[in-house]
A and B are shown apart, each in its own frame.
Chain A
Amino acid sequence: MTRLRFYLLALGPGLVTAFADNDAGGITTYSIAGAQFGYGLIWVLLVTAVALTLTQEVGARLALATGQGLAGLIRERFRVRWTAFAVLTMLVANLGTTIAEFAGVAAALSLFGVPPQLSAVLSASLVVVLLARANFDRIQYAFVLIGAGVSISYAVSAYLAHPDWGHAASALVRPEITLSNAYFLTLVGVVGTTITPWGQALIQSYVADKGLGPRDLGPVRLDVTLGSGVLTNLIAVFIVVACAVTIFPTGATIESAADAARALGPLVGPSATTLFAIGLFAASLLGLATVPLSSAYFACEAFGFERGLHWRWAEAPIFYGLLTFFVAVPALFILIPGLPLIQVMFLAQVVNGLLLPIILVFVMKLAREPNLGDLRSGRVLYPLGWLVTALASAMSLAFVATQVLGI
C-alpha cells in the first residue's frame, strides 16, 4: 500500500488538480461555453493553458523554496491586515466554489429524480464521512479515476459527433469573438473555473506538505506543465467541442443538467444522462473533499491556528469551525426552493474569475522575494506572470464596469 501510494503521489499534484479543476463548475461552464458560442470561446482555453502553467509554477517555486503555503508567506511578507484581506478574498471565492460543488451533486442526483433538498443533506453527510475517513487518499483516487473516465467519454463523444476539427483548430488560434454581455460573462466564467484562487493555494500546500525542496523543481515543473497546463485544458477543449457539435447547432441553451448531458449522446445514446450524472457527481465530490479543507487550512495557516485533521475538535476549534461553516452554509443555500442549479454553478465560477487577480497579485509580489534564492521567478517567468495578472485584472475591472456599473 505505501509503495502504491508513493507512485500515485509521484504522479503529482498536476494530475490530481487536472481532474479536480474539472469539477462541477468546470464541466458546467465549459458546457455552457460550447453550447452557447460553439467554438467562439475555445481560444480562451489556449490562453488559460499557458497562464495556468505560469501561475502554478510561480506558486510551486514559492513552496519549494520556503516549505510554506501561500497563506503563511502572505502573512510573513504583508503582515496582519493584508493577510486578513487575502484570507477574506480566498474564503469568499471558495465559498462560491463549494456552493457550486453542492449544486453539482444536487444537479447530478436530480437526473435520478432526487429532490435538491435531499441531495443537500446527503452531500453534507458525505463530506463529513469523507473527511472523517482516515484513508481518504484512496477514495480521492477513485474520484480521480471516475473523472478521468468521464473526460475520456467527452473526448470520444466529441470524436463520434464528427466535429469540424479544422474549424475548432483555427478557432483555437484565431479568436472568433462575439461582442455581447453574455459572451463576456461566459469568458469570465471560463477563466475563473480554470485558474482558481484555491488552485493557487492547493499547489503550494501540496508541494510543502510533501516536503519537496529546491532540487525537486524539475519534476514539479514537468508535472505542473503536463497536468495543469496540458491535461486540464485539453479536457476542457473536448467538453467545449462536444457541446459545440451536439447542442450549439440546435440553438438550445443549457438550463438543466439534462440539457448538458446531451453532449454525451453520440457516445452512449440514451444513457448519456446517466453517464453525465455519474461524472458530475464524482467531480463534485472530489471538489467537496478538497475545497472546504483547503479553505480552513488557508485561514488557519495565515493566522497560526492549529490545523489539519489529526487534531481533535477541542484542540483546533477554529479549523473545525471553518470546516463546519464550509459544509453547512452551502448545504443550507441549496435548500432554497427552486434554485437554478446550473446558473448557480456558473455564477460561482464568475465570482472566482473576478477575485482571481487579487490572489495573483499576492503571488506575484512574493515571486521575487530574496529569501527564495535560486527559485525566484526569472526574467521570463516573472514578467509573464505579471502579464497574466494584468490581463486577469483588466478582465475583472472591465466586467465590473460593464455589467455591474452598466457603463
Chain B
Amino acid sequence: MPYLSEIHHRKVIEPNGNEVGTLKDLAVVPQGQFPAVQWAIVATGDGEKVVKWSDIAQEIGHLRLRHRLESVPDASLPGEALRLSRDLMDKQIVDTHGAKVVRVNDLQLSEIEGQLRLVGADVGLRGLLRRIGAEGLAERVFGKRLPRGIIPWHLVEPLDSNTPEHGVRVTVPRTKLALLHPADIADIVEEMAADERRQVFEQLDVETAAEALSEVEPEMQASIVTDLPEERAADILDEMAPDEAADLLQDLPVERREELVELMEKEEAENVEELLTYPEDTAGGIMTTDFVALPAELTAQQAIDRLRELQPDPELTYYLYVVDGQRRLDGVISLRDLVVAKPEQKLADVMDPHVLKVDATASKEDVAALIAKYDLLALPVVDARRKLLGTVTVDDVVEIMLPRGWKKRSSRTLAR
C-alpha cells in the first residue's frame, strides 16, 4: 500500500527509458467512498503537464508513460478536482468520526480492482516520521508500537482552503459535516477561517445551523453572524431559542442588531426585543420566552390536545404553567400529573398552586441556586404583577455553574 510521500517526486520515463520529468502531484475528483486517482501532474523541463493516470504504468522505482510524452494527449483538470499534494498534504481536514480538525501528514493510496484509489489520510506520528525519512529508524527504536493514525477517506471532510491563485474550485457541499452533532460542528468551525465558517453556515440546513451556532463560543458567534448575508442570519436567528438569539444580538453593534431584528419573523423578533431589555446577568436576561401556558378552566384532555397541536420543544414540555386571563401565573402542572389525571378534571384542580418563581430582576446566580436546590428542570420568571414572562431552563444555568472550559471538555471525552 503506497503512500503519496513515497511516490511523490518519482522519476517519470518514456517507454524507451528516456527520463522526462518527475511526478509532481496526483488528482482525484472527490466523489464516492474512495475516489480514483485520475490524473498525474508531471513536472517536465518546460512546466507542468497533466497526464491521464491511465496513460502511466507504475514500475519499481519509477513511473513509465505508455507513450512518448509529446504523443500523450494534454488532459486538463475539472474545477472540482482535488490535487492531493497541493490541496491536501499538510492541510487541515475534518475527521468526521472523531469530530475534530486534524492535519494531514500523508495520504494512503491503494490498488482496488486495478484502480489506484485514495483510501485514507495519515494523521499520526508515523506519517510525520515518514515525511522526514525517519519511519524506519523510529520503528527499530519503538517497534510496532508506533501508532498508525489513519482515517479512512470516507470519514474525511477536506477543509476548503480556497486558493484564488488556482482558479475558483467548485465548493464541495459539506455533506459529511452536516451529519455531525451540532455541538461537534461548533467545535470544528471554531478552527476555520472566517470565510470558511461563513460557507458552512450558508450550506447547513437552517435548523442545524441554528443549533450549531448556539454552541459556538460567544465572541465567535457575533463574528459569524456579521459575516453572513443578512437574510440568512435572520433565518438562523429565527430558528434559535429566543434567549440565545438575544444573547447573540446583544454582542452586535446596535445598527446591525436592528437590521437583523427587522428581518426576523414578527413573533420571534418581539420575543427577542423583549429579552434584550433585561440586563444579561438577571433572570430576565437568561430566560427564554418559549413556554407552555394554559388557562385554568381547560380539562386535562383539552390540555393534552393542545400540547399535541403545539408540539413544544422537549425541554419546554415537562412543566406546564397555568395562567389567568391576564397571563398571571396561578400554578404549575408537570407532564406526569397531566397524563395521570382523569381526562375531565379541570387544570385548576390538578395544578400545584404553590409554584416556585423568580422575579425578572433576580440575579442569575440566585436562579441557578434555586434550580439546583429544588432539582428543577425549569423555573418560571414573572414581573412585579406576577405576569408570566418566560422560563429559565436547567440547560441555561448549567453553563453558569460549570467553570469555563468544562463544556468543551465533556463534549469531547464522553461522546464516544
Contacts and interface: CB of A to CB of B under 8 A. Distances in A.
Interface of A: 1-3, 6, 9, 64-68, 72, 75-76, 79-81, 84, 134-135, 137, 210-216, 303-304, 306, 309-312, 315, 370-371, 373
Given A80-B128, A304-B123, A310-B412, A211 B197 contact: yes
Given A211-B220, A371-B165, A373-B164, A3 B280 contact: yes
A145 to B, nearest CB: 20
Contacts of A315: 412-413
A370 B403 contact: no
A312 B406 CA distance: 11
A135 B405 CA distance: 9
A87 B325 CA distance: 69
B223 interface: yes
A371 B161 CA distance: 8
Given A134-B405, A304-B105, A76 B90 contact: yes
B193 interface: yes
Contacts of A9: 219
B219 A303 contact: no
Give chain B's interface residue range (CB within 8 Å of chain A).
Answer: 35 or more
A213 B90 contact: no
A135 B404 contact: yes
A28 B105 CA distance: 42
9 contacts: A66-B161, A67-B196, A80-B105, A81-B132, A212-B223, A213-B195, A306-B100, A371-B161, A371-B164
A46 to B, nearest CB: 35
Given A1-B281, A312-B409, A6 B194 contact: no
A133 B132 CA distance: 38
Contacts of B194: 64, 67, 211-214
Contacts of B132: 80-81, 84
A79 B90 contact: yes
Closest 10 CB pairs of A and B: A213-B194, A304-B103, A67-B193, A211-B220, A370-B165, A134-B403, A80-B131, A310-B408, A371-B163, A134-B404
Contacts of B251: 6
B162 to A, nearest CB: 7
A226 to B, nearest CB: 21
Contact of A72 (B92, B105, B123, B165): B92
Interface of B: 89-92, 100, 102-105, 123, 128, 131-132, 161-165, 190-197, 217-220, 223-224, 226-227, 251, 280-281, 403-406, 408-409, 412-413
A150 B171 CA distance: 53
B409 A310 contact: yes
B224 A211 contact: yes
B403 A211 contact: no
Contacts of A80: 90, 105, 128, 131-132
Q: Which of A64, A79, A310, A370 has the most CB of B within 10 A?
A: A310
Contact of A213 (B105, B227, B408): B227
Contacts of B219: 6, 9, 210-211
B403 A135 contact: yes
A213 B220 CA distance: 10
A212 B412 CA distance: 24
A211 B412 contact: no
Nearest to A302: B103
Given A67-B194, A215-B227, 11 more contacts: A2-B280, A64-B194, A67-B192, A67-B193, A134-B403, A210-B220, A211-B190, A309-B405, A310-B408, A370-B163, A371-B164
A72 to B, nearest CB: 7
Contacts of B163: 370-371
Contacts of B193: 65-68, 213
